[in-house]
């Protein structure tokens, strides 16, 4: 389910926007080495990202067709989440009776819970303070 202003929610997991490539060209979001070909807009092609920059346990690939209000999303989990490349295809027909070109391909990953992130930051900060006091 798409949640306006948040991303996507599947069950209790919220997926936040990571990166997207518009076709033709134009990257947005985090630098994960995202590549979508062909770059000139087409009904099918390839996608990839750099697994040394982005390697989540699960993620979504979302396709948005040009001149069409629809989109499609694929959830990668478990062994599939180790994939950092694949093929894409806009397989639906628009109102004019033809397969539209790709507008953009986006990647979403599970949101990091704020309390956990704050706890990790706080405990790291306390550790640094403790080390500084011990040295004095």
3 state DSSP class of 40: coil
pLDDT over threshold 80, residue 107: yes
**CA 80, 3, 122: angle at the middle one, nearest 5?**
75
- pLDDT attached to residue 65: 79
**Domain encompassing residue 10:** 2-135
pLDDT over threshold 80, residue 75: yes
Tens digits of residue pLDDT in 4-63: 556 888 888 889 999 998 877 788 899 999 988 876 566 788 899 999 999 888 999 988
How much is the pTM? 0.72
55-69 residues labelled b (16+ CB within 10 A) or e (exposed):
ebebbbbbbbbeebe
Number of domains within the chain: 1
3-16 residues labelled b (16+ CB within 10 A) or e (exposed):
eeeebbeeeeeebe
Bridge partners (DSSP) of residue 63 are 72, 105
23-52 residues labelled b (16+ CB within 10 A) or e (exposed):
beeeeeebebebbbeeeebbbebebebeee
Q: State the chain's mean pLDDT as an integer.
A: 80
Q: Report CA dihedral (103, 9, 113, 34) to the nearest 10 degrees.
A: -20
């Amino acid at each position: 389910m798409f949640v306006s202003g948040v991303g996507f929610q599947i069950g209790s997991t919220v997926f936040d926007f990571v990166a997207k490539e518009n076709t033709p060209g134009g990257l947005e979001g985090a630098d994960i080495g995202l590549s979508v070909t062909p770059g000139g807009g087409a009904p099918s092609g390839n996608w990839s990202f750099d697994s040394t920059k982005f390697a989540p346990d699960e993620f979504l690939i979302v396709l948005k067709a040009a001149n069409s209000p629809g989109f499609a999303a694929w959830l990668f989990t478990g062994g599939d989440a180790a994939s950092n490349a694949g093929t894409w295809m806009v397989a639906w027909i628009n109102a004019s009776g033809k397969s539209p070109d790709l507008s953009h391909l986006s990647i979403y990953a599970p949101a990091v819970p704020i309390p956990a992130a704050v706890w990790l930051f706080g405990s790291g900060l306390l550790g640094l303070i403790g080390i500084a006091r011990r040295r004095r």
